[in-house]
Chains A and B, each alone.
Chain A
Amino acid sequence: MASKPSQPKGILKDSVSPPNEPKQSAREIAIHHATLLEHRKQLESQILDSLILLSEYPLVRETSYNASNPAPSDVSDFKANVRLFQPSDYDDLIEERNVNELCGYTLCPKPRRQTGSGGEWKLTNSGEIVKRKELEKWCSQQCARRALFVKVQLNETAAWERAGIPDIQIDLLDEDKSAETEADRTARKLGELKLEDQRQAARDSAALAMERGDNRIGSSLDKVKVTLKEKDVKAPSEMAPPVGADHSEDHLVIDGFKAKLPEKQTGESGV
């Protein structure tokens, strides 16, 4: 005040500069929250997509595979898709599978149990009285155990709070690693390797983001869904000798190929 005695202070509030600044920051805050919400929505739709996908599993329906010995490709898909689920999403998946008349356990190809007509409660073989709905969710007691074994490993925290943490690994009940064939082992190793790659990528991007000082959430994740597809590499087709070409140089051809000698000859003749 003492330094600027020449300028009388008005009683009105300064109306030019201060409202501008909060407006700007308010806009930034709004955009920040909108991005968060958008990220959540993306994750939710992603979860719904995997749920619908898994409600038709297993894809490989051969007689050699069953719930206790599922196809390795199905196992890796199941593990990859179920990672973001909350237990409630998993319950929804079981219900959706039951609507499709399948056993609630995702890797079980059998239809669900039908206990025939009757009331709301059922007496099991072990003498327990259970709700009929609970009983009809599965094809057998083992499948119920397998499915619940997966469920207890799922995380209660919301998907968007742990989407960046790829440390979630789902194990299956009675996963027998002794009897697997070489191909199965390779498939499993490949899956683990992929997971390890993702973790490394997440760590790297987090470190990079910290270094840059930006704290944007999910900007690096889920923008584009990248699916790597191995390209079948075929041996190049047998090189066929040119058919129907002029036969004037037939005398130069050895085993169907023409030697490159004549080029050198022309060079010499020029000199």
Chain B
Amino acid sequence: MIDDLPNDAKSKEVVRLWRAWRTVHEMVADREYELAEDEVTISLDRFRDEYCHPDGTVNRAKLQFSARPSDSMLRKNTPPATASNPDPVPDCGPIWVEFLTDKQFGVGQIRQFAKYTISNNYKTGIMVTHVPLSPAARKSLASVENLAKIECFLEDDLLVNITHHELVPRHVLLSREEKIALLKRYRLKETQLPRILQKDPVARYLGLKRGQVVKIIRVSETAGRYASYRLCV
């Protein structure tokens, strides 16, 4: 598909953005937000029609979308009801995704994005940039963590969907009940589980929070399938 394009810088840029756009959508869909099928599998031609200026450059200001969590995701993220809290609210909410155009990222840009995300009642914000953040900006992300979770991805990292690689096993996020059942079944404490870092590429892809458990299903020659569990730290 890519071979029959005119081989100039403009269309390369379009293809890059199209691939990042698709990966972001796949990521949001894999986290079980509500997205239509045709939004996720957008073709290059349609992408060009919808998001390009007439002269062939991408209109980056249009590259933004939001999604609501699906019912199954809400169920997964609701803490179990207790006596003191009989009607728990799910700790996930709508997500906001934006491709940012700035040439440099400092604390100012981060604050602006965080303010937009928080003031519009999004629980998660994903910013896709084409330059890395400044170190101070990365540190300042932690300060707004309890209001909204701001995640930052480089455009270059989203060109391919890493979870589709054959060496990456399937990661499934466990709900709270499943986690409790797992710990009970194996008589474990949380800390006795193997761990996965929060900055692990797949953990970042799934947006894991501290304390969540993923089930990792590998293909095994002897056993067919082998499942292991990891606690996000």
Does B82 have its Cβ within 8 Å of any Cβ on chain A? no
Question: Are B143 and A96 closer than 8 Å at their CB atoms?
Answer: no
CB of B54 within 8 A of chain A?
A: no
Give Cα distance in the complex from A261 to B134, angstroms: 77
Against B, the Cβ 8 Å flags (1 = close, 0 = not) of A95-111 are 11011100000000000
Judge if A170 is at the interface, Cβ distance under 8 Å: no
Flag the segment in B32-40, B105-113, B187-195, B206-214 that touches A.
Answer: B105-113
What is the CB-to-nearest-CB distance from A38 to chain B, in angstroms, rounded to a whole number?
15
Whether A99 lies near B105 (C-beta < 8 A) is yes
Q: Are B107 and A52 in contact (CB under 8 A)?
A: yes
- Determine whether A51 belongs to the interface, using a CB cutoff of 8 Å to chain B: yes
Find residues 86-141 in chain B having any chain A CB closer than 8 Å to their own CB: 104-108, 134-137, 139-140
Instruction: Give the shortest distance, in Å, between A46 (CB) and chain B (any CB).
Output: 12
A95 vs B136: C-alpha distance when bound (angstroms): 9
A55 x B140 contact (CB < 8 A): no
Interface residue ranges of B157-204 to A (CB < 8 Å) = none
Report the nearest B residue to A100, measured CB to CB.
B106
Q: Which residues of A contact B136 (CB under 8 A)?
A: 48, 51-52, 55, 92-93, 95-96
Q: Bound complex: CA of A96 vs CA of B109, how far in Å?
A: 11
Q: CB distance B140 to A52 under 8 Å?
A: yes
Identify the closest chain B residue to A97 (Cβ). Answer: B106
Q: Is the pair A92, B134 in contact by a Cβ cutoff of 8 Å?
A: yes
Q: How far is the CA of A183 from the CA of B223 in the complex (A)?
A: 82
Q: In chain A, residues 205-261, which have Cβ atoms closer than 8 Å to a Cβ of chain B? A: none
Q: How far is the CB of B212 from chain A (nearest CB, A)?
A: 22
How many angstroms between the C-alpha atoms of A39 and B19 in the bound complex?
A: 44
Contact size class for B?
10 to 19
Query: Is A45 positioned at the interface, with any CB of B under 8 Å from its CB?
Result: yes
Instruction: Give CA–CA (A53, B96) in the complex, Å.
Output: 29
**Complex: chain A residue closest to B135, CB-CB:** A92
From B134, B139, B140, B143, contact of A99 by CB (8 A): B134
Say whether B135 contacts A99, CB under 8 Å.
no
Among B104, B108, B139, the residue within 8 A (CB) of A48 is B139
A100–B104 alpha-carbon span in the complex (Å): 9
Q: A92-B135, A95-B134, A95-B135 are in contact. Are A100 and B140 (CB under 8 A)?
A: no
Closest residue on chain B to residue A41 by CB atoms: B142
Contacts of A100 in B (CB 8 A): 106, 108
Which chain B residues border A45 with CB–CB below 8 Å? 143
Task: A99 to B105: give the CA distance in the assembly, Å.
Answer: 7
Q: Which residues of B contact A96 (CB under 8 A)?
A: 106-107, 134-137
Residues of A36-88 at the interface with B, using a CB-CB cut-off of 8 Å, are 44-45, 48, 51-52, 55
Q: Considering only CB atoms, which chain A residue lies closest to B138 in the complex?
A: A92
Point out the residues of chain B lying under 8 angstroms from A52, CB to CB.
107, 136, 140
A214 to B135, CA, bound (A): 38
Separation of A44 and B140 alpha carbons in the complex (Å): 11
- Give the 9 A-B CB pairs with smallest separation, nearest first: A99-B106, A92-B135, A96-B136, A99-B104, A95-B134, A92-B136, A99-B134, A48-B139, A52-B107
28 pairs of residues in contact across A and B, judged by CB atoms under 8 Å: A44-B139, A48-B136, A48-B139, A48-B143, A51-B136, A52-B107, A52-B136, A52-B140, A55-B106, A55-B107, A55-B136, A92-B135, A92-B136, A93-B136, A95-B134, A95-B135, A96-B134, A96-B135, A96-B136, A96-B137, A98-B104, A99-B105, A99-B106, A99-B108, A99-B134, A99-B137, A100-B106, A100-B108
